[in-house]
Amino acid sequence: MKPESGPVFSKRLGKSHILWFQDSNSYIIISNTVQQLLDCFFLAKDKSDFVQRATEVVKIDESLADVYYDELNDFLDDISLKNNDVHTHTEPNIIPKPKIERHYCFGKCSFSINYSSERLMELIHPNLSHAHSNNLHEPKAVFDIFESDGLLHMFKNQHYIGSYETHKFHFLQGKFAMELLTTLYGNTESDWLATFHATTVSNGKEAIMLIGDSGNGKSTFSALLMASGLDLLADDLTPMLAEDGHLYRFPSAISIKEGAFDSIGEHFEGFAALETHQSQSKHIKVKYLPPTISFESTKRDFGCRKLVLVKYDKDTSGCEINPCEPEKALQILIPDSWISPKKEHSQTFLNWLGNLEFYELHYSDNEIAVKKMMRLFDDNR
């Protein structure tokens, strides 16, 4: 029944299954029991046939199987809807003269951004301020970011990129990050498999990805790892190239919240002198700590086979890093990440997940946590 509404790909990970639905480009994580029910659903000729199969395979009573049939039917109808998250705003007629011009340089790649206001500059500039340059090389790209008719607009090299509602400025930030990636690496958006809401560190041989809910100490911990000699490949946004499945360098600064100023300042000379900003999304004070390794000076990409779910808890004792179920980590990784809708990219992504080792780091002691992360790099099982 309804085979056209089923997932195109599925992968078993630990005790769960992850399914990909092409029309909505949705990844759904389900238990083994739900997978069995889905199998029954697609094999069944009708509702009564499903009820019979479900009672035999999953060992549930008929009344419960009847309810599951309706729920699965509704679920498949919803998940099969095409992704309509498309901006349909009208393109502005003109690009206004900028009030603020800033120029940036990462190695041999220079670009400029024209902002129409200080407020808009605060959305982009702080993460890139360490690359601010007064040396006016011929830029590879010129961005125009401005506000008109209650919308935020972005152009790149005079070409319209998109318009975004003012309260959804994170869409503008995300799209700018993608356009910056294509500028830095000289490719197109279709070359990228994903941009993960994650931090990635490397020991020069391999990369480990760190994820965690907001407020769980991920950025502070990544700064401490950087202070301990690891290479910060990317913070908050980690790109993966489809061609090789590697994670790539994205040279934005680390956002350090006010509560961690003292602990981070102990490790980085000049941190106290960094400008303090007011976060527009969380209404807290932050400083932006630049990477210690320049974009041009070292390898830009690494393979990754380990993912760590980071959680800081001042009330816990010591530090524990243990394997965890993939489902727990993926429920955090996937919803906040952009993943390419291409069919071949989805299969590559699922295969990569199948080869990942998943860990959970629960800590209160920074020094011990850093040491245990270092040992995770040395573990070549």
Q: Model confidence at 283, in pLDDT bands (50, 70, 90)?
A: confident
Across 13-27, average pLDDT = 94
162 assigned to some structural domain: yes
Residue 351 lies in a domain: yes
User: Within this chain, do residues 211 and 154 fall inside the same structural domain, yes or no?
Assistant: no
What single-letter DSSP state applies at residue 109?
E
Same domain, yes or no: 201 and 221: yes
Whole-number Cα distances in Å, 220 to 212, 282, 325:
12, 16, 24
Asked if pLDDT for residue 5 goes beyond 80, the answer is: no
Alpha helices in the chain (DSSP H): 32-43, 47-57, 62-79, 118-128, 169-185, 218-227, 261-265, 326-333, 343-354, 366-378
Distances (CA, A) of 305 to 121, 203, 206, 296: 36, 13, 8, 24
Fill in the amino acid letter for 199.
T
Average pLDDT rounded to a whole number, residues 100-108: 93
If asked whether residues 143 and 247 sit together in one domain, one would say: no
Q: Which two tokens stand for residue 243?
A: 């061609």
State the average pLDDT over residues 332-358.
Answer: 96
Residue 95 lies in a domain: no
- In tens, the pLDDT along 124-148 reads 999 999 999 987 678 999 999 999 9
Same domain, 246 and 370: yes
Give a yes or no: residue 300 inside a domain.
yes
> pLDDT of 199-252, one tens digit each?
999 999 999 999 998 777 788 899 999 999 999 999 989 999 999 999 999 999
Q: Are 65 and 19 found together in one domain? A: yes
* Number of domains making up the chain: 3
Which of the four pLDDT bands, split at 50, 70 and 90, describes residue 381? Answer: very low
Q: Which of 155, 186, 217 is the last residue of a domain?
A: 186
Quick count: other Cβ atoms within 10 Å of Cβ 71? Answer: 11
What angle do helix axes 47-57 and 62-79 make, rounded to 10 degrees? Answer: 110
- Asked if the structure places residue 93 within a domain, the reply is no
Same domain, 179 and 200: no
Q: How far is CA 110 from CA 114, 142, 269, 296, 365, in A?
A: 14, 9, 27, 12, 40
CATH number for the domain that contains residue 263: 3.40.50
- The answer to whether the CB of 105 falls within 8 A of the CB of 46 is no
- Are 155 and 42 within one domain? no
Instruction: Tell me the pTM.
Output: 0.92
Statement: residue 28 has pLDDT above 60: yes
Residues 7 and 121 both lie in one domain: no
Residue 343 carries which side chain, given as an amino acid letter?
A: K
**Does one domain contain both 266 and 361?**
yes
* 285 and 213 together in one domain: yes
Task: State how far the Cα of 17 lies from the Cα of 158, in Å rounded to an integer.
Answer: 45
CB atoms within 10 A of CB 317: 9
Percent of the chain with pLDDT over 90: 80
Domain end position, chosen among 29, 45, 79: 79
**213 and 325 part of one domain:** yes
3-state SS, residue 144: strand
Which residue segment(s) compose the domain that 248 sits in?
Answer: 193-378
Cα 5 to Cα 248: distance, rounded to the nearest angstrom: 34
Question: 249-286 as b/e, with b when 16 or more CB fall inside 10 Å?
Answer: bbbbbbbbbeebbeebbeebeebeebeebeeeeeeeeb
CB 237 within 8 Å of CB 197: yes
Q: Would residue 322 count as lying in a domain?
A: yes
The answer to whether position 363 is within a domain reads yes
In a domain, 13, yes or no: yes
Banded pLDDT at 84 (limits 50, 70, 90): low
Helix axes 32-43, 62-79, angle to 10 degrees: 90
Same domain, 361 and 253: yes
The DSSP 8-state label assigned to residue 289 in this structure reads E
What would the two tokens of residue 62 be? 């008929």
171, 186, 201: which is the final residue of a domain?
186
Confidence of residue 87 (pLDDT cuts 50, 70, 90): low
